[in-house]
Amino acid sequence: MSIKLRLTVLNFLELFVFGAWLISLGGYLGGQLHFEGIQIGKIFTTLGIASLVMPGIIGIIADKYLNAQKLLGLLHIIGAGFMFFLAQTHDYDTFFWMMLGYLTVYMPTLGLANTVSYSILTNNKFDVIKVFPKIRVWGTIGFIVAEVAVGTLGWAQNNMQFYFAMVISLIMGLYSFTLPNVPLSKSENKSFAERLGLDAFALFKEYKMAIFFIFATLLGVVLQISNAWASEFMRSFTTDFPDSFAVTNSNSFIALSQVSETLFILTIPFFLNRFGIKTVMIMSMIAWFLRFGLFGIGSPEGIGVGYLVLSMVVYGAAFDFFNISGSLFIETETDSKYRGSAQGLFILLTNGVGAMLGGIGSGYVVQFFTTEAGRDWFSIWMVFAAYALILALLFWMIFKYNHNPDTIKEVIH
């Protein structure tokens, strides 16, 4: 098996594990386990908590103490154990701590998988910039395949999704040990704060960067809203539209969002060069407004199906335009001595702090609009849509940036 094919399998399995449960989790918690809105929201905060410090800690271990491919395999094997117990857990407190334990070992593997891929490609004389994107896209495909498989097999509303993720995680763990060795780092020592990107907080002294990072955190909130509630929302149609395709195949339906994501990646170079980073980020916020607003008026019948489909389509612009344009903004606007740390801070604020705020805040919103008759999904989605629209308006008014096409030579995803 060629090196590129082996790394393609690695990236496919890495996100396959994530796709096997992430999108369907909210529906399972609300449907099978009957958790309240606040409880579901708090469980999704574990994504943010695990993203705050664990990638930095694991990065230090991979650099200095244990080869990255071995550490990647070990974490996935431990993760398989957590998945086994999650499948058998039904009370909220235990589920919260089991999920936090699982994500503590899984979230760092996202970065480790990239590290392993980069190192092996470099050691085998491949051009990482040209080769890796074609390999990494199979990670997204793996996520989609897992998401569709869980829905098609009828596991989206039961604990089989966790057993499924457990098996794939175990396979991924064992497979990682077969990969070429990744040498321990011989680079200069970095402090723990530098590895977490905390030294980049010095950039807050500059108005433009301070505003950017604040809005990056606030926009990280909406990423978690979509993860937490899309599946639970689709499950809510079970009573009135039990035979609708969007209900019986909700995971496959939601997977259109990830398909859209892969397509919108191709449009980013044009939009960035034509309109600039500020406009593209505003486009992302407007796309989030449309994502939630279309959910609010959507249904599995008649024109409502079209609204739901459009909501899936705009997700690609909402997700890609923010993440990639934000990363590129940091690359082109920060001093070289802070650049790596600033990218780390960007991830910490969006996937860490933003995700925590999104999980807790959305849980309270859903709970507020929940009565004995059920959840008022129209009001829930309109609140989320209003939040995204307000962000867009404030960002447009507050963030000052003059677009210079010459600073954007190439966009790499």
What pLDDT was estimated at residue 54?
78
For the segment(s) 191-402, the CATH number from 3.10.28.10, 3.40.50.11540, 3.40.50.300, 1.20.1250.20 is 1.20.1250.20
Instruction: Yes or no: say if 56 and 345 are a contact pair by the CB < 8 Å rule.
Output: no
Dump pLDDT digits (tens) for 132-166.
778 888 998 999 999 999 989 999 889 999 999 99
The Cα–Cα gap between 47 and 256 comes to: 23
pLDDT at 128 over 50: yes
Dump pLDDT digits (tens) for 75-97.
999 999 999 999 999 999 999 99
**207 — pLDDT class (breaks 50, 70, 90):** confident
pLDDT at 413 over 50: no
* Cβ density class 290-325: b for 16+ within 10 Å, e for less: bbbbbbbebbbeeebbebbebbbbbbbbbbbbbbbb
Cα angle, residue 18 at apex, residues 16 and 23 outer, rounded to 5°: 110
Domain ranges for the chain: 1-182, 191-402
- Please tell me if the domain spanning 1-182 has the same topology as the one spanning 191-402: yes
Helix axes 277-297, 377-398, angle to 10 degrees: 170
Q: What is the DSSP letter of 198?
A: G
Torsion on CA atoms 392, 393, 395, 396, rounded to nearest 10: 110
The Cα–Cα gap between 183 and 180 comes to: 10
Q: Percent of the chain having pLDDT more than 90?
A: 48
Dump pLDDT digits (tens) for 300-320.
888 999 999 999 999 989 988
Higher pLDDT, 111 or 88: 88
Dump pLDDT digits (tens) for 36-46.
999 999 999 99
pLDDT at 198 over 80: no
CATH code for the domain defined by 1-182: 1.20.1250.20
The Cα–Cα gap between 20 and 7 comes to: 20
